[in-house]
A and B are shown apart, each in its own frame.
Chain A
């Protein structure tokens, strides 16, 4: 079974430029998450989708970050304009449903991440 696919794997941009990351979740997974993991820290949830609707975007810096999942499958995360502190790994994850994570069917699977360096 194919896992969560992300691209690009690595990106280096200058501050104030824009960047977009793409995620293809595991087939059939209704819930999709974007997490930001700064070096030395644990992942922080940016946004959670249930199909093509946003469930939680309370920690998304909406002045510069945007995300969409128009057809309820693939998703893109965009940063414009980028700041130095946006340097991080952007992890996409998916699960079958948005139910309680303790239930086996709701295990969250992570992609390998997209590494962003803003210089």
Chain B
């Protein structure tokens, strides 16, 4: 079983601050995805990272995949209340093909105005 550990579990910061959340595993993943889930909704895909060391930017969000493809981070610059939500990382197995995603427990993020 491939486990993904996310930290911190909870984070509450003021609007305008920067933050980083982490996703770590002892296993290698062929790809890793970040989702954002709002209350009462299903997860929505933010980004997929595939190559070790890859960095992707989505407006104020920066995603990085570790060189060894075992960990990832999500950095948010100048956080806004609209960023509030549950951030989930999910890994696809190194076997490729028909692998369901393995999700972490998520980071609950609250941005206070």
Residues of chain A whose beta carbon lies under 8 Å from any beta carbon of chain B: 4, 31, 33, 40-45, 48, 50, 55-56, 91, 93, 98-102, 107-113
In the complex, A110→B101 CA distance in Å? 12
Contacts of B30 in A (CB 8 A): 100, 102
- Using known A-B contacts A100-B92, A108-B45, A110-B43, determine if residue A43 contacts B103 with beta carbons closer than 8 Å: yes
Q: Is B88 an interface residue (CB 8 A)?
A: yes
- With contact pairs A42-B105, A43-B103 given, residues A101 and B92 touching in the complex (Cβ less than 8 Å): yes
- Rounded to whole angstroms, the CA-CA distance of A112 and B45 in the bound complex is 14
Q: Mark B1-38, 1 if CB is under 8 A from A, else 0.
A: 00010100000000000000000000000110100000
| Chain B residues with CB under 8 A of A33 | 100
Residues of B within 8 A of A (CB): 4, 6, 30-31, 33, 40-45, 48, 50, 88, 90, 92, 96-106
Query: 20 other contacts beyond A55-B98, A100-B30, with CB at 8 A cut-off?
Result: A31-B98, A33-B100, A41-B105, A42-B88, A42-B90, A43-B43, A43-B88, A43-B101, A45-B100, A91-B42, A101-B31, A101-B33, A102-B31, A102-B48, A102-B50, A107-B45, A108-B101, A110-B42, A111-B42, A113-B40
Q: Of all chain B residues, which has the CB nearest A111?
A: B42
Q: Summarize B's interface: helix, strand, loop or mixed.
A: loop
> Could you say which residues of chain A place their CB within 8 Å of the CB of B100?
33, 45, 48, 56
A44 to B43, CA, bound (A): 12
Could you tell me if A99 and B103 are in contact, using CB atoms closer than 8 angstroms? no
Which residues of A are found within 8 Å of B33, using beta-carbon distances?
Answer: 101-102
Q: Check B31 against A4 for contact (C-beta < 8 Å).
A: no
Chain A contact residues: over half helix, strand or loop, or mixed? loop
CB distance from B32 to the nearest CB of A (A): 9
A109-B98 Cα distance, complex, nearest whole Å: 16
Residues of A within 8 A of B43 (CB): 43, 91, 110
Please give me the 7 A-B residue pairs with the lowest Cβ-Cβ distance, nearest first.
A110-B42, A42-B103, A102-B31, A45-B100, A98-B98, A102-B50, A101-B92
A17 to B88, CA, bound (A): 32
B48 lies within 8 A of A110 (CB): no
